[in-house]
Amino acid sequence: MAALPVYVHAPAYYAGQLGMALSTTGLLLFLARLVDTVQDPWLGHLIDLKAGRLRGWMFGAGVLLAVSFAGLWLPPVQGKALMVWLVVMLIAIYTAHSMLNIAYLAWGARLGNEAALLNAAAWREGAGLVGVVLASIVPGYLMAGQQVEQGMAWYALAFALLLALGIGALLYRALPWLGGGQKQSWREPLANPAFRRVLLPYFLNAVSVAIPATLALFFIRDRIEAPQLSGAFLAAYFVAAAIGLPLWVKLAGKIGTAKAWRLGMILAVLAFAGAAVLSGGDVVAYALVCILAGLALGADLALPPVLLAGLISPQHSAASYYGIWTLLGKLALAISGLVLPLLALGGYQPGVAGQGGLSLALTYAALPCAIKLLAMWRLNLVIGDVERKPKS
């Protein structure tokens, strides 16, 4: 609820509900993500140093995340101060989320062999998708209502309660933290050649996912002309991803994690290529795009973290690896924020019929396809290396 949904709904909320200029919103999103991005390797290193002694770390991050999440949707300021508020709240949300997420991913990286990791990843991402579906439907419904501020206040409270429940369950019921071996510099993972080779395809693929996520609500409203179905389209996308998770895990067990991920990329390209030619009223066709793209998203969610876990040497701690990994994911989201001022230059204006519709369609669908094909090409070059287990 505090990751991808924030990035999907915040631009529409601040540009549509609060009146901030689209180009300004995009630049501020980029700035906030850029500031946040550089800290992830350092946070991963701190988690490694704590070696599982993370109770205070997790509780502190949870409090920061709950407070900043509420602040994002309930800004007490207007005008120029609203721009500063947006940046501060986003940086606080991203920082707290990184503190929790890097520790969580590193915690699970030592659960067992590849089969155990694939199974655990499917359950983890499946549970995450339930939250994503709720977080995709509820804000859109609340923003379309008459009492938006009151609705978002209840939404923030529900998030805080769910967050407390999740952190409590993790700390008191999860398997013990198994650590990762010797402590290391945050730069040490970059000495692993297989890890270095997989970074570029992962980054390119993350950019290809982030761009349509940033533009989805704009595309649905101004290209498909069905804003009332925004929640349904997003739900179809994420439910399809949840359904696809066990299928990708099963396929990865048969042909290998990297090869299964490559097939997911192909499916995503086929899905989004069709979206580029859609226009007003193509509701059924766009629903099909959402379902196919959602199935492909299942591969993007479940398989890359498992691929990474297989590249971590037993002598290395996992959190430093995931710190660099999440850095690239956030950098991809930061870059995707730049498509908003790019669309403004192309003549697109949110909510204005006929203004920059073609530019919106090409940026939402064609550009991600091109980037996804580059990612697949780079993965093809290293697929043999990344599927070999690291030497101890």
Q: What domains does the chain contain, in order, with CATH numbers?
A: 4-386 (1.20.1250.20)
| 3 state DSSP class of 375 | helix
Mean pLDDT of 232-247: 88
| Range of 99-113, 243-257, 332-346 with top mean pLDDT | 243-257
Q: How confident is the model at residue 391 (pLDDT cuts 50, 70, 90)?
A: very low
Six-digit token string for 150: 């009151």
Higher pLDDT, 267 or 351: 267
For residue 76, the tally of other CB atoms under 10 A from its CB is: 8
Which tens digit of pLDDT belongs to each residue from 42-87?
Answer: 888 788 777 667 788 889 999 999 999 999 999 998 888 999 999 9
- In 3D space, the residue among 142, 151, 58 whose CA is nearest the CA of residue 98 turns out to be 58
Mean pLDDT of 139-144: 71
pLDDT score recorded for residue 43: 83
Position 392 pLDDT exceeds 60: no
pLDDT score recorded for residue 32: 82
> Apex CA 288: angle with CA 8 and CA 247, to 5°?
85
Q: Three-state SS string across 125-154, please?
A: HHHHHHHHHHHHHHHHHHHCCCCHHHHHHH
Position 370 pLDDT exceeds 90: yes
Q: What is the mean pLDDT of the chain?
A: 83
Which amino acid is located at 273 in the chain?
A
Burial class (CB in 10 A: 0-12, 13-18, 19+), 79: exposed
Which tens digit of pLDDT belongs to each residue from 4-30?
Answer: 667 777 877 887 778 888 778 878 887
178-189 b/e (C-beta count within 10 Å ≥ 16 → b): ebbbeebebebb
* Cα distances (angstroms) measured from residue 345 to each of 153, 338, 349: 35, 11, 10
For residue 151, the tally of other CB atoms under 10 A from its CB is: 18
Mean pLDDT of 188-217: 88
pLDDT score recorded for residue 46: 83
pLDDT score recorded for residue 2: 82
pLDDT score recorded for residue 307: 85
Higher pLDDT, 119 or 247: 247
pLDDT score recorded for residue 390: 47
Mean pLDDT of 351-359: 67
Which tens digit of pLDDT belongs to each residue from 307-325?
Answer: 887 787 766 667 778 888 8
Q: How confident is the model at residue 388 (pLDDT cuts 50, 70, 90)?
A: low
pLDDT score recorded for residue 78: 86
Q: How confident is the model at residue 107 (pLDDT cuts 50, 70, 90)?
A: confident
Contact 241, 38 (CB under 8 A): no
